[in-house]
Structures are given as C-alpha cells and as structure tokens.
Amino acid sequence: MNGIPGGPRLFDANSLFSSNLSLYKVAREYIPQEITLGVHANETKAEQMIYPADKGEAFVQRLLKSSDTRLRQYGSAKELRDNLISYSNFVDARDRFGMTYGAPYYLPPIVYKSVKNEEYICKADAFTYLQKWIFANHKQMEHLHIRYTFMLYMRLMEEEIGAYAEFVPRNCRQLKQLGPDFENVVSDMQKESPPMCKHTLNDYKNLTFAKLLKHWKTLIPFEWDDDEFITVEALLSFYYENLPRADAMEQTFISYWYLVKLFLSIERFIESRREVFHPFTKENTRKMKLTMRVFEDNGYHFAMVEEMLKMTSLSTGREPYTGGAELLHTRDVEPHSPCKLSKRGVEMLIVPIKRTKHGAVPIVTPSGDHCILMADAFLQCLHDVIITWKIFQKMKPTEWPVVKKALQRMELYDGPETARTVFMSLDHVKLMREAALEGFADLKDRPAKYIRNAKKDGFTVQNLKNELKHLGLVEIFPEIADHAEIAYEKVLKAKKEEHLRTCDLFDAVEHCQLLSFFKRFQEYTMLLHAQKSCKRVEGPQCLSCKIDSKIGQVHFESMGLGVSIMRL
C-alpha cells in the first residue's frame, strides 16, 4: 500500500511513550480521589491523545498548576511524572487503568531474571514485541486511522486470551524470529482472497460516509463505545475534508483491505504460537520451560501458594490449578536450593517487590488479577488516614475508640493468614480503604489546617516541631515531637534537591505521625513484623524484633558462637 498523501500522522513509532490521556488515567489511580477531584489540565480531546516528546512532564506541570496546591506532597512535575511511569510499569496495566483501547503498548516489556541468570518476559508482553515489529516495518502504521484501528484489534485479541503470570524465555526462537515468521504469514495471506475482501473499489465509491463508517466497524467484531467510534469517525473524515471524494474513497478502501489481511495474519500467527501467546495447558507445556516467581523484599524470598499449586499441576501433566482469591498466601522459598518444582524443571524467577514514593507497583496474579503486599496496602491506607483525610488533626483526644473501630473495619486480623507474608488483590484493597473511610464518617469532614510551605533554604528540626504544633498534632500525640529527629534524618537522606522542600516536609510530618501511631497501637506493629515489613517504618526497633534477636543470641551462645542473629 502506498503512503496516503496528506493523511494524519504520528511521530516516529519507536520514540513514542504515552499519551497525556493515558498518563492522566494513571494519575487518577495513583493519587487519592479526594485530592484529584476537580484537577484537570484543560486540554481538548485531540490534545489528550498527543504523545509528547517530554513523556508528559509539561502535562503533569499543568495538572500541578490546576490543583491549587493540593498536590504539593508529590514534588516537582518531573518527579511525579517519573513516579507515574514507574507505578504503571506492570503486566496488563492498560486494562487496570482503563486506558483507551486505541492506545499503544507504551512501555517496554519487563525482563525477569532466573536463578540461572536467564532472561524471561511475561506472555502478555509478547503482544508488545509483535506491535513493535509491525510499527517498525509496516509504513501504513504512520497513518493514525490505521494505527488506531490496529490497536483496537490488538487490545481485543489480548483481552480474549487474558493476562496471566506465565513467562517465556526472552531468547527463545519464537520471539527471536517473531518478525520474520510473522512476515511469512503476511506473505501467505497476500496470496489469498479472504471472504470479507469481496468488496471492490467501485462498491466503496458508491458508499455514503455513514455507510462507510458502518462498514469500517466490521473490521473488529466487538461493541464499540462512543469514544472509540467518534475517534475513528474523526480520523476517517480527514480524507473527505481534504481530498476529492473519489481519492478519499480509494485511500479508505486500500486501508480497509490492508487491515483485513493484517488482522487475519495476526490471528493465524498467534494461533500457530499458542505456547507464547496463550496460557499453558497440559498439551503445550512441552514446548516451553515452566517458571515460578520468587518474590524478593528486604532480603526475604517467598512465593505465592497459588502459583506453586499451578506449577505443580502443569509440571505433573495435569490441567493448571485456577485460583483467584482476595488474599494470596505465600511460603518462604530459598530460590537457590533444590525443591520438588525445580527438580521437575520449573525455573525460578527472582522478582523484586517494586515501590514508588507513594505506592507499591501492582503485581499480576496467577489468575490474571492484580495485587500488592498486605503490608503495602495497610501503609497506603495509613497514608490516607494521615495525609489525605487528616484524621489525627481532626479528632479529639477522647475519640481514640472511634479511630480503633474504624481501623478494625479493615479486617486485617481475620484469620491466621497474617502470620505469613500475604498478597492482597487490588479490588480487596479498595474495599478495605472504603471500609476505613466509612468508619471515619464523623471525622473526615471536619476542618483541618494544611501543612505550610517550606522556606527556600529548607527547614530544620525545630521548624518540623513547630509544624507539628501548628497542625494540632501535639494534643493528640503528646510525644510526637520526640520523633522529629528521626523523621528529619530520614527525609534528609532521601532529599532530591540541595535544600529540603515542601514535599519533604509532608514526608517528615507523616513519619512523625506513623511512629506515634505504632507506639500507641502495638498490634499493628506486630502485623508489620509478621509481614516482614516492620523496618519499612524507620524508627526504634520493634519489640518483636528485639525478642527474636534475644532468642537468636541465646541459641548461638549455647553453641559457643557468641553472636546474635536477627530475623529482620
């Protein structure tokens, strides 16, 4: 197909990152709704679809400007943009954030290392490889109406297959030869005449624009929503506004013919490589190594029980175990030590738990859902209690029973599962947050003072103590000023610029409240300890760690070693 003269184009496909609209949808998930309410960048729909060279920094700057100082805790536009990018870098993020169906896969595939130092990617990211090849080698993708329709189709194919926590070697032949093998399928398809290509150019020339749109929609057999339909209509209408009608019809016909054969080629190609694109079954496991993720956090290694059961089923020739629980239990795993699964040929992938400044990066579950650690969910909820809802600033000293009851609504102690590290589905995290907020119904709407801006040359420990008093926190936590030194040292070590800024003051004020909270509610300190996360809150060593340390010291001294060990 020849280039369409004057058609709407995008920038170089290989340099694209994300549209402003996609970044905005990530921000709406990353930043609490109470803060983002009314925050917008005053952009038209066309401007939202732009893929900016600065990867959205100017767009985020406009968001900050429209927030009326409500986003000060997130730092500069570049810092917030980088955190949004990191936060959205997980498998099937587009579906989680409800991104536009026509948006391309805008982040490179995540590479996982096995204990043998071999590289793997998630099967869902194989679609990214295919997209990148087509973008780079099919000049037709320079035209937005073709590109947009292509991405709608790719998204539909991915949704039909589903996103699962299954992995394939990055250097396997199926991926290394993906491009040439795909072009062979395309070449074979060019020799055929699919039934849907029965329309001729003369048929097209007799269509009204309304009938043309209806015909174009038959390219993808799914329910188009209004936004998708309006976008395609706007892209196609370009030709009828800028070219003679006969030329516009001809170019649209050529585009349609190209997409029909491209989509049939993709469908045939994916079906021929089910072991790469589709979930494992007992039939296709022989073509690929099975893998299991071993998560790494703070020196600990653990795996999801659900994933272990799934790999056990597949490695013994049975249909895979299917789970989908709200809480995913784990077991401690030593990845370099032999186990039943490794003896059956299952490769262990080391997966570090990743976090941004204000949130844990979601993880895809074996069943295709998303989750984070329970400890992360709890600390994120405490962040809302402290910073978003300002509960400790709004309550009276006599209202601690209300706070305790509200926190109990999160049901973090419902059963023995908290004795081990636990993952929690994002849907359950949302319900937990809503339950806590309902418990604070009588407190959350009260007025409260805002954290003031730091001076240009930063702030001191005394400034921090003054801010705690200004916010009314000394009345609720009489000892809170005692934590100022620890909080100040923490933000001083983590600062991003020469002087401490307002975002650092937010962090310091929050940390002082966290230390006071955990001193008052020892049961939540024990929860973090059981989840191997008590060191996430810098401060005095937790009581459980001290007990474990003493037990370890007694044990080793009894063996004549005279040294102590600590679990954390």
Q: Based on the fold, state whether residues 305 and 242 are members of the same structural domain.
A: no
On whether residue 185 sits in a domain, the answer given is yes
Q: Based on the fold, state whether residues 263 and 302 are members of the same structural domain.
A: no
In this prediction, residues 227-244 reach a mean pLDDT of 80
Whole-number pLDDT of residue 281? 80
Q: Based on the fold, state whether residues 328 and 462 are members of the same structural domain.
A: no
| 256 pLDDT higher than 80 | yes
On whether residue 159 sits in a domain, the answer given is yes
- Domain with 348, as residue range(s), is 285-368
pLDDT (tens digit per residue) in 107-152: 778 999 999 999 999 998 899 899 989 999 999 988 888 988 998 8
On whether residue 551 sits in a domain, the answer given is no
Helix 144-161 vs helix 126-137: angle between axes, to the nearest 10 degrees?
Answer: 160
Q: Based on the fold, state whether residues 484 and 394 are members of the same structural domain.
A: yes
Q: What is the dihedral of CA 167, 172, 177, 181, to 10 degrees?
A: -60
H-assigned helices in 356-483 = 374-383, 391-394, 400-408, 426-439, 461-470, 473-476
Which of 86, 102, 118 is the last residue before a domain boundary?
A: 102
DSSP for 44-69 reads -HHHHT---TTTTHHHHHHHHHHTTT
On whether residue 46 sits in a domain, the answer given is yes
Q: Based on the fold, state whether residues 401 and 530 are members of the same structural domain.
A: yes
Q: Based on the fold, state whether residues 138 and 258 are members of the same structural domain.
A: yes
Which of 279, 297, 327 is the last residue before a domain boundary?
A: 279
On whether residue 544 sits in a domain, the answer given is no
pTM of the model: 0.86
Whole-number pLDDT of residue 195? 56
Q: Residue 377 is encoded by which pair of tokens? A: 């969910």
Of 39, 151, 44, 164, the residue nearest 100 (C-alpha): 151
Q: Based on the fold, state whether residues 322 and 244 are members of the same structural domain.
A: no
CB-count burial class (<10 Å; 0-12, 13-18, 19+) for 299:
exposed
Lowest mean pLDDT among 336-345, 376-385, 393-402, 544-553: 544-553
Residues 139-174 as b/e (b if ≥16 CB within 10 A, e otherwise) read ebbbbbbbbbbbbbbbbebbeebebbbbbbbbebeb
Nearest-angstrom CA–CA distance, 473 and 492: 22
For the chain, what is the domain count? 4
- Largest alpha-carbon pair distance within the chain? 95
Task: Name the region of 324 (left: φ>0; alpha: ψ -120 to 50; beta: rest).
Answer: left
- Of residues 549 and 233, more confidence is placed in 233
pLDDT (tens digit per residue) in 479-506: 999 999 999 999 999 999 999 999 999 9
In this prediction, residues 398-414 reach a mean pLDDT of 88
Identify the DSSP state of 497.
S
Q: Based on the fold, state whether residues 265 and 216 are members of the same structural domain.
A: yes
On whether residue 264 sits in a domain, the answer given is yes
Which of 219, 252, 279 is the last residue before a domain boundary?
A: 279
Cβ-contact 109, 129 below 8 angstroms: yes
Whole-number pLDDT of residue 106? 64
For residue 455, report the phi and psi dihedrals to the nearest 5 degrees: -75, 165
In this prediction, residues 308-325 reach a mean pLDDT of 72
Cβ atoms < 10 Å from Cβ of 278 = 17
Nearest-angstrom CA–CA distance, 77 and 62: 9
On whether residue 12 sits in a domain, the answer given is no
Q: Based on the fold, state whether residues 401 and 523 are members of the same structural domain.
A: yes
- Of residues 363 and 256, more confidence is placed in 363
Q: Based on the fold, state whether residues 530 and 387 are members of the same structural domain.
A: yes
- What's the whole-number average pLDDT of the chain? 84
- Of residues 35 and 195, more confidence is placed in 35
